Structure 1
Amino acid sequence: MTTHTIGIIMNGVTGRMGTNQHLLRSIKEIIAQGGVKISADEVIMPDPILVGRNEAKLQELCKRSGVQKYTTDLESVLSDPSYQVYFDAQVTGRRAPAIKKAIQAGKHIYCEKPTGTTTEEALELYELCEAAGLKHGVVQDKLWLPGMLKLKRLMENDFFGKILSVRGEFGYWVFEGHSVPAQRPSWNYRKEDDGGIIVDMLCHWRYVLDNLFGNVKAVSCLGATHIEERIDENGKPYKCTADDACYATFELEGDVIAHFNSSWTVRVRRDDLLTLQVDGTKGSAVAGLRECYIQHYGNTPKPVWNPDIEQPINFYEGWSKVPQQEPFDNAFKAQWELFLKHLVQDTPFPWGLKEGAKGVQLAEKGIESWEKKCWVNIDEL
């Protein structure tokens, strides 16, 4: 058996997403399954080292994950040739400077989004990697969620006919901390710390829309800071300076209209924390993170507006649940495996730093639209 060992510098994995999705549910699971099998006698085996600023947290993570190595000295591992890949899941403001150091050290790059605090910064990372001949990837996890994959299968089989519109509902109530502790970090609600739901979520909606429904051509966006004060991790009140809700409409190629409500100040009464409704001439679908429900043209009811009587139609009855036709892996793990194959086999991997820059661009244009109260075109990068 030939084993291709890939040394991975994992920076920022003490945070929630880095710990749960990237370390425990991706890299740890890939190691546990014996690596990524690429042929009958070849596997790719990740060899991670955990990097962070808090040694106690790193030691605890090593115990939980079974990873043997950690360090608080990023410079030392960047100079170590046994590590070919640099992964970054730090807070946004620290990401680009660290990635630049990794590029200078000749490391391939895989990172979380947003990839920078500005489009210019994010695009520079792409250009630096390309100039250095390095491979690169950006986490675009929602593309591998079971609900999104089911939507994609429906589109491939022309279930929708001509797609007319996409409506996304994302979010949940994030407690302010006055009585119930908050379930998100306080930096998310401070603009000076690169927080805000527009910066966070429009990066996601860019790759979802571009990859599934058509490239984004223009955006009209309204942000809001609905909660003015929250309590931080130390029990101290702080002023919220970043947006906690975003109401955005997108014009896509092919005359498709998409609208996404994103909010940390909404209470959920829908199938999941994220739902996408896709309406077409032949049928419609509503997809959550894992499940997908469909209604064909032939199952569409014919309501008549009459507010003076009880509604005679149960609108849920005409929908069918898409069956589980294949196994689905963790979305983050699925993309990690594709990136590892890209490193070893040079298989296609279109979700690189340029795609990450497009996400930052849409967030910037969304903020510009909010400030100007107008539609803003999205230029090609």
Structure 2
Amino acid sequence: MSDRVVGVVMNGVTGRMGYRQHLVRSVLAINEQGGVTLSDGSRVSLRPLLVGRDLRRIGDVADRHGISDYTTDLDDALADPANTIYFDAQVTQARVAATLKAIALGKHVYTEKPTAETVADAVRLADAAAEAGVKNGVVQDKLFLPGLLKLKRLIDGGFFGRILSVRGEFGYWVFEGDWQPAQRPSWNYRTEDGGGIVLDMFPHWGYVLENLFGRIESVYAHVTTHIPERWDERGQVYKATADDAAYGVFELEGGAVAQINSSWTVRVNRDELVEFQVDGTHGSAVAGLRNCRIQHRGSTPRPIWNPDIPVTESFRDQWQEVPDNVEFENAFKLQWEMFIRHVLEDAPFPHTFAAGARNVRIAELGLRSHAEGRRLPVEAL
């Protein structure tokens, strides 16, 4: 039994991410465990008020989970003083206006990434939250994944020595929508609707690289639309105006170089949908969503290049699995709990709107780099 209840306005939970990760696996899961435990031992549960554009869809979600409060009227939801937190998982184009409304009414604000489509709007949000004195945060879920937590453990323990490079591979084949339904909504492939893999994924790479390996000093990217025509949810053909693949190079402080490929047009030949290989002077690691494998300098084999004979060894078998050692919880839920503690007792929370704006800057520079055909330095906001 929790000691108090905090009202949370949740906007955009009929979408895949908002529903599954934020409502079901975070907010409702927190309540099922008895709430968030604060430093004094008290517990806080969350009372979600669901907001959406379609009353039937939002009502179906509410009925499915026994939630009594839902509405299509955002202004009315924000006007209730019992609702102290506003969460936004809408399409990116709708996020800025709605979040600014919440800030103006003194709500603490937590949003999906990216916080905005442009750096100017992302900075506008960060400035508005700072001026209003409200707590603010952006989802940076990849940092809380088991694979990357293991990678962070290795970095903090000095396993790599001097880190030389990071190579990331992300993506999978998203069906075009004609002969099989697409796994992503059609707006993802229309620039005019806020779509594009750079805006979707480069903010992720920004916070992953900067939190694990150091500040990004420059960005170079090649961006493309490999599949120019797709079919939407109604089976109607449309022109894909947004990028579906991006190939980026990020120079990091200290001299390390990160190369990350992002694609919705690649068939998976790796253990997980995203993997990062980190190579250092003393060791290497390959980390995915959940797993992490290592090879120390002392156990590194001595491969010899000889194309005239068949390979006689399994290179994958020469790596060692990093043990879990702890039980990992859902990444989104962990960050929700951090944000609740930040709001209620000012616990540390570095993933602010200012951090979100820096990550939007990485996406914007990626698109500019492609358009101008050159490497671009990352300047301070």
TM-score after normalising by structure 2: 0.98
Mapping of 1:127-142 within 5 angstroms? 127-142=127-142
Partner in structure 2 of residue 212 of structure 1: 212
Letter in 2 for 1:334: L
Letter in 2 for 1:162: R
Q: Deviations over 1:199-233 (max 9, x none)?
A: 11001000000100001110000001000100001
Letter in 2 for 1:87: F
Mapping of 1:320-335 within 5 angstroms? 320-335=320-335
Letter in 2 for 1:8: V
Q: Please give the alpha-carbon distance, in whole angstroms, between the structure 2 residues aligned to 1:95 and 1:39.
A: 32
- CA distance 1:95–1:309, shift in 2 (3 Å): same
Residue aligned with 1:255, SS: coil
- Pairwise CA distance, 1:304: 1.2
Check whether the contact 1:53–1:72 (CA below 8 A) recurs between aligned residues. Answer: yes
Check whether the contact 1:115–1:122 (CA below 8 A) recurs between aligned residues. Answer: yes
Q: Please give the alpha-carbon distance, in whole angstroms, between the structure 2 residues aligned to 1:108 and 1:158.
A: 37
Q: Which runs of 5+ in 2 are unaligned?
A: none
Q: Please give the alpha-carbon distance, in whole angstroms, between the structure 2 residues aligned to 1:156 and 1:193.
A: 41
Partner in structure 1 of residue 38 of structure 2: 38
Partner in structure 1 of residue 88 of structure 2: 88
Q: Give the aligned CA root-mean-square deviation in angstroms.
A: 1.0
Check whether the contact 1:190–1:240 (CA below 8 A) recurs between aligned residues. Answer: yes
Letter in 1 for 2:59: Q
- Pairwise CA distance, 1:260: 0.3
Q: Please give the alpha-carbon distance, in whole angstroms, between the structure 2 residues aligned to 1:144 and 1:36.
A: 17
Check whether the contact 2:339–2:349 (CA below 8 A) recurs between aligned residues. Answer: yes
- Pairwise CA distance, 1:54: 1.0
Letter in 2 for 1:43: R
- Pairwise CA distance, 1:190: 0.5
Partner in structure 1 of residue 64 of structure 2: 64
Mapping of 1:52-131 within 5 angstroms? 52-131=52-131
Mapping of 1:193-272 within 5 angstroms? 193-272=193-272
Check whether the contact 2:2–2:45 (CA below 8 A) recurs between aligned residues. Answer: no
Residue aligned with 1:84, SS: strand
Q: Deviations over 1:127-163 (max 9, x none)?
A: 0111111100000000000000000001111111111
Partner in structure 1 of residue 369 of structure 2: 369
Q: Please give the alpha-carbon distance, in whole angstroms, between the structure 2 residues aligned to 1:5 and 1:352.
A: 24
Residue aligned with 1:254, SS: coil
Check whether the contact 2:2–2:34 (CA below 8 A) recurs between aligned residues. Answer: no
Partner in structure 2 of residue 346 of structure 1: 346
Letter in 2 for 1:170: F
Percent of residue pairs bearing the same amino acid type: 55
> Would you say how many aligned residue pairs link Structure 1 and Structure 2?
381
Q: Please give the alpha-carbon distance, in whole angstroms, between the structure 1 residues aligned to 2:345 and 2:317.
A: 48
Letter in 2 for 1:212: L
- Pairwise CA distance, 1:298: 1.3
Residue aligned with 1:124, SS: helix
Mapping of 1:107-186 within 5 angstroms? 107-186=107-186
Letter in 2 for 1:3: D
- CA distance 1:39–1:380, shift in 2 (3 Å): closer
- Pairwise CA distance, 1:5: 2.0
Residue aligned with 2:222, SS: strand
